[in-house]
Chains A and B, each alone.
Chain A
Amino acid sequence: MLLSRPNILRSLGRTVAPCRSLHNTAWLWCFRSAVSLDKIYPESDLDLTKPQQIPKTKGHNFSGYVPMDKVQVTYSRSSGPGGQNVNKINTKVDLRFHLASAEWLSPELKEKLATKHKTSITSDGFLVIRSDKTRSQQLNLAEAMDKLRHLIYTAAFVPPPPAVEDIERARRRLPSL
């Protein structure tokens, strides 16, 4: 049996996440068994902090990405029953952004949103979404984000052109004026 001092052990045994972008010496100090992540995923970078490519919105194709720094979120107290908790805790979420100056949406989408969802737009031109569905601020924010995406997707939806058979059927049914 090999005797070892704890201070040497600390530097040797310290397991850092198997990130291949780290320098070689840190990688050498890791304990790696036969089922370590680099053996299960040999082709992967194993990088938890890998920066992700932001998907782009073009024309009517909304990518789903909403930049949180371009959107204003405010919290307030919710309505309804709940006693002291609902009176004191800010769980209601108000999500708004100025529609005309939003660069993350394409002009076509902005036009469609302005026409289809004009009831959600204030006189100043801000698209407002509110949510106080749950008891948690974070879950309400998630709900507001979901509502926002739903608004954009329904506005972006372009119905497919009618099929040839449908046009023919309509022509036969309704005599031209």
Chain B
Amino acid sequence: MASQGTEKALALLRRLPRVSLGNLKPNPGAVKSARRGRGIYGGKTHGAGSKGSGQRQNFMRLGFETGNTPFYLRFPYQNYYKGHHMRLSYAPLCMGKLQRMIDTSRLRTDVPVDITQLSATQLFSINPMEKMGGIMLKDEGIDHFQATLNLEVQWATEAVIASVERNGGTITVAYYDPISLQAALNPMAFFKRGVAIPRRMLPPQNLIDYYSDPKNRGYLADPTEVARERFVLAQKYGYELPDIRSSPNQEMLLERKDPRQIFYGLQPGWVVNLEDKVILKPTDPELLEHYAS
């Protein structure tokens, strides 16, 4: 039998109405009035304290440091920092290093290579909280690159796209918002949290054009237009475009995530239980609608 105090508490819970915004109030003394003191106990100094500049015509503006150059004026504006807080940076990966990773079996080529696979090599430190967007592929070593891959990175130049496609592979650039990126970089740590897989957000205004352009192989671009750009690029760089349809890895090379997906084979809304090795899926229609939106 529970103690009297517990019983009383449970009885309260049973009879009191549900807590809502309409029946809440702060504790007495928690909220201080913004009004100037007037009358009996708000009188005498009227909230101005005693003596000093606080009581005597205090006109100092916010940030004023009694004469010396204040902190907010000490540092000049630099144009190269303009909008820096909105700009993303990417971890560089040159093609020569990518080929080396494949040759030393650090990276698998039989599955689509996305940020999760690249992060699993543990050769990159990407911190989404420090405004890092993911991985970008660089031009260096394009002559040494020979692998056939289904690549998904966050930024790629034209020469890189040409070197991947001339070897019979496919490349896509895809955007991951910070939360999705954090999940994608370390899926195990994410699953251990027991949180439903979120929907991947669409790119911000300054990046949406980049990711919708077939020339960049954006994940939001029309695949038919991307096919045309593949042909044009092959002509520009002087190689015959290999036929993916006759390739044995056709299915793997054409595998693409939905724009809202973070992991291959997993949908937003699912909860992955690593302990019991099961996946929990929502059944409520509202939730299903939300996660598919």
Contact = CB atoms under 8 A, between A and B. Distances in A.
Interface in A11-51: 13-19, 30-37, 40-41, 44-50
Contacts of A48: 170, 223, 226-227, 230, 244, 254
A145 B240 CA distance: 13
Contacts of B223: 17-19, 37, 44-48
Given A37-B222, A45-B224, A138-B163, A4 B279 contact: yes
A15 B261 contact: yes
A71 to B, nearest CB: 8
Contact of B238 (A13, A16, A73, A89): A73
A9 interface: yes
B266 interface: yes
Interface residues of B, number: 54
B224 A136 contact: no
A142 B256 contact: no
A7 B291 CA distance: 22
A68 B235 CA distance: 8
Report the interface size class on chain A: 35 or more
B260 interface: yes
Interface in B279-293: 279-283, 291-293
Interface string B234-250: 11111110011100000
A50 B228 CA distance: 8
A66 interface: yes
A49 B162 CA distance: 16
A172 interface: no
A32 B236 CA distance: 34
Given A46-B222, A52-B228, A136-B143, A15 B237 contact: no
B151 interface: no
Contact of B199 (A17, A33, A47): A33
Contact of A138 (B143, B240, B282, B293): B143
A157 interface: no
Contacts of B224: 41, 44-47, 50
A173 interface: no
Q: List 3 A-B pairs, minimum CB-CB distance, nearest first.
A: A33-B260, A13-B265, A17-B254
Interface of A: 1-6, 9-10, 13-19, 30-37, 40-41, 44-50, 52, 64-66, 68-69, 73, 89, 91, 95, 136-139, 141-142, 144-146
Interface of B: 139, 142-143, 159, 162-163, 166, 170, 199, 202, 220, 222-224, 226-228, 230-231, 234-240, 243-245, 251, 254-261, 264-268, 271, 277-283, 291-293
20 contacts: A1-B280, A6-B279, A10-B265, A14-B255, A15-B261, A33-B258, A33-B293, A34-B293, A36-B258, A41-B224, A46-B224, A48-B223, A48-B230, A49-B244, A49-B254, A66-B238, A68-B234, A136-B143, A136-B159, A144-B238
